[in-house]
Chains A and B, each alone.
Chain A
Amino acid sequence: MDLTLSTRSEDGRTVVEVAGEIDVYTAPKLREQLAELVDSGRYDLVIDMSGVEFLDSTGLGVLVGGLKRVRMHDGSLRLVCTQERILKIFRITGLTKVFPIHASVADAIATDST
């Protein structure tokens, strides 16, 4: 399955719904999308990864790059992810300490409203 992306606004955040496989081939598409959002002034992002079937370190790198970009603007990047096989790569790399990971978009948005 290829990578599909869709973006919407919700309560002042930008929710990016990602589905499919994020790997060395498809990650540039996500990188582009995140860079476009930040360039257009959207600094509070929620990446909904509920539909992601595969994530590799290239994809992690794109998320890390996105996080660093929004932080330059005092923004935030939150992830929504519950699949064990996707969470595993965050755990073995220690990146659970870097990304706030939520069980639902509603939860991510509620936590973000500080």
Chain B
Amino acid sequence: MATVELRFAAKPAHVRTARQVAVTLARRVNLGTPALDAVRLAVGEACGLVVALQQETHPDEPVVVTFDDTKGLSIDVCGAVELESAEGIAAVDVLAAAVEPVVDELPVGASLAVVSALVPRLDVVTSADGVTMSMRWPAEASAHA
């Protein structure tokens, strides 16, 4: 069972709240400073990605983040994202996107590229109900940067 559950409207303003809860719990399980920074950024990216995708199609559905700190730290970010766009979430080559001559910012897949680089164990599960990004930091994760 999740030890903490956070449910918020799919709005960018609330992503910070999710980061703060994540960092507080990471401190509680003594993850160590590098992992703590990774937790903060990974949760921010995952929630930001879900909010961005959800705002288009399901703005009234909440984003749900569940935290389990019983064995290391496990964080699930769930959103009501259309299966088609959920399946389309793929990590992009951020560097390649950045050097494209077209004046544009980074695609949403940049978030996933960052999350993948930060999280020791990441599972992205898509279903008809939406997407769940599961991130796991084992208790000894302080060794992970």
Contact = CB atoms under 8 A, between A and B. Distances in A.
B1 interface: no
A24 B48 contact: yes
Interface in A1-48: 21, 23-25, 31
A54 B41 CA distance: 8
| Most chain A beta-carbon contacts within 10 A, residue among B19, B37, B44 | B44
Contacts of B101: 68
B114 to A, nearest CB: 5
B57 to A, nearest CB: 17
Contacts of B110: 57, 60-61, 93
A69 B111 CA distance: 22
Nearest to A68: B103
Interface residues of B, number: 33
Interface of B: 12-13, 15-16, 19, 37, 40-41, 44-45, 47-48, 51-52, 93-95, 97-99, 101-106, 110-111, 113-114, 117-118, 145
A54 B44 contact: yes
Q: Chain B interface secondary structure, helix, strand, loop or mixed?
A: helix
Interface of A: 21, 23-25, 31, 54, 56-58, 60-62, 64-65, 67-69, 72, 85, 88-89, 92-95, 97-98
Contacts of A54: 19, 40-41, 44
Contact of A98 (B47, B98, B118): B98
12 contacts: A21-B16, A24-B15, A25-B16, A54-B40, A56-B114, A57-B106, A57-B110, A58-B48, A85-B37, A92-B113, A93-B113, A94-B93
